[in-house]
Structure 1
Amino acid sequence: MRRRILLLVGATTSLVLIAFLVPLALLLRTVAADRAVQAATVEAQSLSSLVATTDRAALALAVQQLDANSPAVVTLFLADGSVLGAPAERTPLVQLGTLGGSESAAVQGGREIVFAVRDPTGDAGVIRAFVPDAQLNRGVPGAWLLLGALGIGLLGLSLAVADWLGRSLVRSTTDLAAVSHRLANGELDARADPAAPAELGVVAAAVNGLAARISELLREERETVADLAHRVRTPLTALRLDAEALPEPGQAARIGAGVDAVQRSVTQAIELARRRGSGPGAGRAWSDAAAVVHERVAFWAVLAEDTDRETSVEIAAGPLPVALGAADLGACVDALLGNVFAHTPDGTAFAVRLAARPGGGALLVVADAGQGLPAGNAALSRGSSGADSTGLGLDIARRSAEQAGGGLTLGRAVEGGLEVRVELGPPDP
């Protein structure tokens, strides 16, 4: 922007200066030439009265003195053919003067002026004044240099003003962009300067209003999640009491473990909502992927056994640190395994594989022997589902992978069903 402003102002100022200075320079040259011609004309005409009243000797002396003191070259042609003053040829303009005419014309090297006069005997004579180019252009180069210096000075001044204006606009634009990046990084307390020039101030005020609105919406979201989670705790407590009252200890323990898992998820939702409002970097954590995946697979193994599902588990030896907290990684694994149990019939085998990723992090693969995913990657869209579910399972896994600096891809498993590959990046040093 700054360079474009300088180019625009420089081009505009240059055109204005050219349109103003070039005609002025030509006018100065014309004025200088007219001044020299007028001075030579006046001096040459002063001889007219002397030619008619003065004798030859006095006239020769007068012509000689005038030629010495005048910037023009003065010559007097008499009727008898004699020439007084500076020697000169009888040019066509002089011949015209002998016929009684007075003329002025540009010739090679300058300008020639002739006047017809009469000597004491009444014969015709001619006064010739020649003004050289040096006299016609006297003072013009200096005036042109002054005009050039004036033009350069005005151009420099306009560029300096344009540069100052451009710097202020660029600085305001850069500050506004920096505030936008800070807001994108989670610094919701960042604010732009509404005193920025012109329309940038309006944009800054709009960005500040947007940031305030985002903060308000996030606060309402945290309060809603916390309130909902708090309400869920009451029926969970009642469910726990009912589970403990069951006569069969194994069944009571299993239902109690499920209640505990739901309780943990509720607590994690509250903590996540709080972390979102704690500024940039909040909620960044790391965990051992091997330990978390092993724990969650062990949890789902009980349900897999009850539904006659053959399970294949390949977990690399830990630790495998990833840039995702244990709670979020556990929720990701639960979402993927929950999809297997929810969208495949009982008896469908599945496999869980966890391996180290080159460059750090881990690669988690969950594959099943079901019918696959006909909808393709469209199922990654939040809320998309083809099985009357919420459609949030794969989206939770995708967001967890992106939070860890990785990604999620879908494909066809070797077992024949759906294969979900989740790449998790390594934690920051």
Structure 2
Amino acid sequence: MRRWLALLVAATTSLVLIALLVPLALLVRALAESGAVTQATAEAQSVAAVVGTADAAGLTLTAERTSAAGGHAITVFLPDGQVVGARAARSPAVELAARGQSLTAETPSGLEVLVAVQGLPAGTAVVRAFLGEDDLRRGVREVWLGMLVLGLTLIGVGIGVADRLALALTRPMSEMARVSHRLAAGDLTARTTPGGPPEVRDVGLALDHLAGRISDLLAEERESAADLSHRLRTPLTGLRLEAESLSDPEEAARLGTRVDALERAVTSVIQDVRRRSREQASCDAARVVAERVAFWSVLAEDQGRAAEVAVPPGPLEVAVSAAELSACVDALLGNVFAHTPEGAAFSVRLAPEPGGALLVVADHGPGFRPLGGSGHPLERGRSGAGSTGLGLDIARRTAEASGGSLTLDAAPGGGARVVLRLGAPADSGALR
């Protein structure tokens, strides 16, 4: 917008200056010509005053002095045909002036100022002052150059002022764009700084109000989820009592273990939604991935699967909670074990990248099977292998919640590869 406003002001200023300076330039040229003619006429009249009183030698001396002083060639055509002063041909205009009429005539090379001197015994003499193009345009080029410099200076000043005004307009708009991007990335604390014209300030205040309303709605949603999780404690307590009342100790212990696991999951949900309502979640991806790979390595060893693992020592902060990342890694590795034959190798690679981390899970299985009709393996509830299709959706939502993305492609040696990009927390020192 700044560039367009500058171009608009430059075009407008140029049109105004052209409309003003072109007539002024023509007027300067006309005034220069008029001044030169007036000066030449005065010089010719001063020589004409001595035509009847001086002899040829004196008249020649007067013409040469006047010509040297004024810079114009002075020629005197006497009635007897004698020519005194600067050499010049007797033109038709001179013949007309010899009839007693003073005049100014144009020639191919300049302008003739002719003064008729009557009353001489032999007839009428003519004093000729010649003006060349340089005489008629003397000083005009300098004035035109000054006007051009003045016009360019005014255009530059106009563009500078327009740029400052445009900056006062575009700076708050750019800030609002940055705030909207931060909101889209999940930073609901982003707010604008009021500034600029009243209309732009109104837009900024409306954006702040929208961000506050979104924060309130998300807080209400998370509290509702937490309240719902709390309500599950009552049936869990009933299940625990039912399990403890069983006569078979082994069955009671088994059900009690399941109830404990369910209660821990409900507690995790409560803590997670309330933590999200207070601050952005983050965790050390290196530690979480290493823990989950170690957990699945036991099953991989039982099935004879070769596992290639490359995890940096860390810490490698990402903008997801440890529970969410654990569920994501479990979903991806669970797909590997569920949809590839026993003995199929797999690899897990975690590496830092600008703005977060890159997690790649690949296997040597059959790869992603095409879905019948429309659909995609990332579409929730769709699967080409008879599963629920929720595992990849969990991984996708985890990546997008951190500001990253998930892509699927074929592994170099055959099989499937899932590339998960995880964003870094907003206050981390990750490269951006």
The answer on whether the counterparts of 1:47 and 1:63 sit within 8 Å (CA) in structure 2 is: yes
Which TM-score applies when normalising by structure 2? 0.72
Indicate the residue corresponding to 1:400 in structure 2: 398
CA offset at residue 149 of structure 1? 2.8
CA offset at residue 271 of structure 1? 2.1
Output one character per residue of 1:112-146: Cα deviation in whole Å (capped at 9) or x when no partner.
02244422447333232222334322332332232
Alignment coverage as a number of residue pairs = 404
Output the CA distance in 1 between the equivalents of 2:421 and 2:150.
Answer: 64
Indicate the residue corresponding to 2:130 in structure 1: 130
Output the CA distance in 2 between the equivalents of 1:316 and 1:182.
Answer: 39
Residue 263 of structure 1 aligns with an amino acid whose one-letter code is E
Q: Identify which range, 122-131 or 90-99, moves more after superposition.
A: 122-131
Indicate the residue corresponding to 1:304 in structure 2: none
Q: Aligned in 2, Cα 1:331/1:85: closer, same or farther, shift over 3 Å?
A: closer
Aligned pairs for 1:195-274 (under 5 A) are 195-197=195-197, 199-274=199-274
Q: Aligned in 2, Cα 1:283/1:109: closer, same or farther, shift over 3 Å?
A: same
Q: Aligned in 2, Cα 1:351/1:359: closer, same or farther, shift over 3 Å?
A: same
SS in 1 for 2:282: coil
Indicate the residue corresponding to 1:356 in structure 2: 348
Q: Aligned in 2, Cα 1:176/1:420: closer, same or farther, shift over 3 Å?
A: same
CA offset at residue 28 of structure 1? 0.6
Indicate the residue corresponding to 2:112 in structure 1: 112
The answer on whether the counterparts of 1:76 and 1:84 sit within 8 Å (CA) in structure 2 is: yes
SS in 1 for 2:246: coil
Q: Aligned in 2, Cα 1:211/1:382: closer, same or farther, shift over 3 Å?
A: farther
CA offset at residue 198 of structure 1? 6.1
Indicate the residue corresponding to 1:327 in structure 2: 323
Indicate the residue corresponding to 1:415 in structure 2: none
Q: Aligned in 2, Cα 1:272/1:150: closer, same or farther, shift over 3 Å?
A: same
Output the CA distance in 1 between the equivalents of 2:153 and 2:164.
Answer: 17
Indicate the residue corresponding to 2:279 in structure 1: 279
SS in 2 for 1:33: helix
Q: Aligned in 2, Cα 1:105/1:383: closer, same or farther, shift over 3 Å?
A: farther
Indicate the residue corresponding to 1:30 in structure 2: 30
Output the CA distance in 2 between the equivalents of 1:216 and 1:226.
Answer: 15
CA offset at residue 367 of structure 1? 8.5
SS in 1 for 2:74: strand
Residue 327 of structure 1 aligns with an amino acid whose one-letter code is A
CA offset at residue 94 of structure 1? 1.0
Residue 83 of structure 1 aligns with an amino acid whose one-letter code is V
SS in 2 for 1:277: helix
Output the CA distance in 1 between the equivalents of 2:102 and 2:423.
Answer: 103
Structure 2: tracts of 5 or more residues without a match? 353-358, 425-429
Output the CA distance in 1 between the equivalents of 2:166 and 2:230.
Answer: 55
The answer on whether the counterparts of 1:111 and 1:132 sit within 8 Å (CA) in structure 2 is: yes
The answer on whether the counterparts of 2:311 and 2:349 sit within 8 Å (CA) in structure 1 is: no
Indicate the residue corresponding to 1:308 in structure 2: none
Output the CA distance in 1 between the equivalents of 2:46 and 2:133.
Answer: 23
Output one character per residue of 1:310-359: Cα deviation in whole Å (capped at 9) or x when no partner.
x958484989679665533554477689999xx99xxxx98997643275
The answer on whether the counterparts of 1:354 and 1:362 sit within 8 Å (CA) in structure 2 is: no
Output the CA distance in 2 between the equivalents of 1:403 and 1:315.
Answer: 32
Residue 282 of structure 2 aligns with an amino acid whose one-letter code is G
CA offset at residue 199 of structure 1? 5.0
Output the CA distance in 2 between the equivalents of 1:330 and 1:91.
Answer: 109
Q: Provide the identity percentage.
A: 44
SS in 1 for 2:130: strand
Residue 283 of structure 1 aligns with an amino acid whose one-letter code is S
Q: Aligned in 2, Cα 1:332/1:102: closer, same or farther, shift over 3 Å?
A: same
SS in 2 for 1:189: coil
Output the CA distance in 2 between the equivalents of 1:372 and 1:61.
Answer: 113
Output the CA distance in 2 between the equivalents of 1:134 and 1:247.
Answer: 126
CA offset at residue 43 of structure 1? 4.9
Residue 406 of structure 2 aligns with an amino acid whose one-letter code is G
Aligned pairs for 1:85-100 (under 5 A) are 85-100=85-100
CA offset at residue 275 of structure 1? 2.8
Aligned pairs for 1:63-102 (under 5 A) are 64=63, 70-102=70-102
Output one character per residue of 1:348-373: Cα deviation in whole Å (capped at 9) or x when no partner.
x98997643275856377999xx996
CA offset at residue 104 of structure 1? 2.0
Output the CA distance in 2 between the equivalents of 1:420 and 1:261.
Answer: 32
Which TM-score applies when normalising by structure 1? 0.73
Output the CA distance in 2 between the equivalents of 1:181 and 1:27.
Answer: 58
Output the CA distance in 1 between the equivalents of 2:173 and 2:283.
Answer: 31
Output one character per residue of 1:163-210: Cα deviation in whole Å (capped at 9) or x when no partner.
323443443344333323433343322211232346543432232122
The answer on whether the counterparts of 1:110 and 1:130 sit within 8 Å (CA) in structure 2 is: yes
Output the CA distance in 2 between the equivalents of 1:364 and 1:267.
Answer: 33
Q: Identify which range, 240-249 or 157-166, moves more after superposition.
A: 157-166
Q: Aligned in 2, Cα 1:98/1:320: closer, same or farther, shift over 3 Å?
A: closer
Q: Aligned in 2, Cα 1:378/1:150: closer, same or farther, shift over 3 Å?
A: same
Q: Aligned in 2, Cα 1:269/1:63: closer, same or farther, shift over 3 Å?
A: same
